[in-house]
Amino acid sequence: MRYLTSLIVTLLAAVTLASPAAAKVVRDVIYAEAPGLDPGDVRADIYMPAEADDAPMIIMMHGGAWTFGNKQNALGMFQANYFTDQGFVFVAINYRLAPAHPFPAQQEDVAAAIAYFHKHAETYGADPDKIFLMGHSAGAHMAALVAIDPDYLDDVGLTPDVIKGVAALDSAAYNLSRTGSDGDIPEFYHATFTADDPDVWAAASPTLLVEETTPIPPFLLLYVNRAVSPSRAKELAEALRSAGHEAEARRVKNRDHKSLNDRIGEKGDKVGPMIVDFFRQQMD
* Long-range pairs, 266-271, Cβ under 8 A, ≥24: 266/76, 266/77, 266/78, 269/78, 269/82, 271/169, 271/222
The pLDDT mean for the chain works out to 91
Residue 146 included in any domain: yes
Q: Determine phi and psi for 138, rounding to 5 degrees.
A: -55, -35
Q: What angle do CA 103, 105, 110 make, to 5 degrees?
A: 120
Residue 181's pLDDT band, with cuts at 50, 70 and 90, is: confident
Exposure pattern of 70-83 as b/e (b: 16+ CB <10 Å)? bbeebbbebbbbbb
The set of residues, in sequence order, having a beta carbon less than 8 Å from that of 201 and lying 6+ positions away, is 176, 177, 179, 180, 185, 193
What is the average pLDDT across 63-72? 96
Residue 17 included in any domain: no
pLDDT at 247: 98
What is the average pLDDT across 82-107? 97
What is the average pLDDT across 54-75? 96
Per DSSP bridges, beta strands 24-30 and 219-223 are: unpaired
Residue 4's pLDDT band, with cuts at 50, 70 and 90, is: very low
Q: What is the pLDDT of residues 95-123, one digit of tens each?
A: 999 999 999 999 999 999 999 999 999 99
- Domain hosting 197: range is 25-283
CATH of the domain at 245: 3.40.50.1820
Residue 238 · residue 248 · CB < 8 Å: no
Residue 5 included in any domain: no
Residue 243 · residue 210 · CB < 8 Å: yes
Residue 171 included in any domain: yes
Measured between alpha carbons, how far is 281 from 100 in angstroms, rounded to an integer? 39
Domain count, the chain: 1
pLDDT at 122: 97
What is the average pLDDT across 169-193? 88
Amino acid at residue number 134: M
pLDDT at 21: 55
Nearest partner of 47 among 18, 95, 82, 96, judged by Cα: 82
Q: Sign of the C-alpha dihedral, residues 170, 200, 148, 122?
A: negative
Measured between alpha carbons, how far is 275 from 43 in angstroms, rounded to an integer? 24
pTM: 0.91
The set of residues, in sequence order, having a beta carbon less than 8 Å from that of 5 and lying 6+ positions away, is none
Residue 1 included in any domain: no
Residue 99 included in any domain: yes
Q: What is the pLDDT of residues 187-220, one digit of tens each?
A: 889 999 987 899 999 999 999 999 999 999 999 9
Residue 77 included in any domain: yes
Q: What is the pLDDT of residues 214-269, one digit of tens each?
A: 999 999 999 999 989 999 999 999 999 999 999 999 999 999 999 999 999 999 99
Residue 48 included in any domain: yes
- pLDDT higher than 60, residue 273: yes
pLDDT at 10: 37
Q: Which residues pair with 30 in a beta bridge?
A: 43
